[in-house]
Amino acid sequence: MDGERRSSAPANGQTVHWVIALFLGVIAACLVMRLDGGWLPEARAQTTRVGARGIFALTGQLGPRTHGLFMVDVDAGNVWCYEYSREMGKLRLVAARSFLHDRYLEEFNVAPPTPSEVAELVKRMRRRQTDADTKGGMGQDE
């Protein structure tokens, strides 16, 4: 009887291996079909970028069910966004802004640590490093 029990154990183990192999095969087939654009639907809100001279167009998702076309004119320093309405089949301008002067702002609507706080931390770190170097390479604790 002990011999029979031992021989039945590997058969159960082989069945589990065959089930795992079958599931892995199904998963692999699904992945291949998705890459080829087969059974599974294509991912939505893929970002695409197109540009000529200083104007670039990017697509993206604005909300859960809305998509947009983002335009950037790097020469004029403008950015604007159109929302695509599937029901109307039209684009609607939803936002526009010039960023010419934005680049001169150093701290506006920033979360801590602010750039000035980071600069202060770097100064302190460099001061400690300089002090450690002047002590002949000894650690900060000494």
Q: Which residue in this structure is represented by tokens 């170097």?
A: 133
Question: Which of 46, 22, 16 lies closest to 30, judged by CA?
Answer: 22
**pTM higher than 0.75:** no
Question: Which of 60, 80, 62 lies closest to 71, judged by CA?
Answer: 80
Q: What is the DSSP string of 61-86?
A: E-SSS-EEEEEEETTTTEEEEEEEET
**What's the pLDDT tens digit per position in 41-98?**
444 555 566 666 788 899 988 888 888 999 999 888 999 999 988 888 888 999 999 9
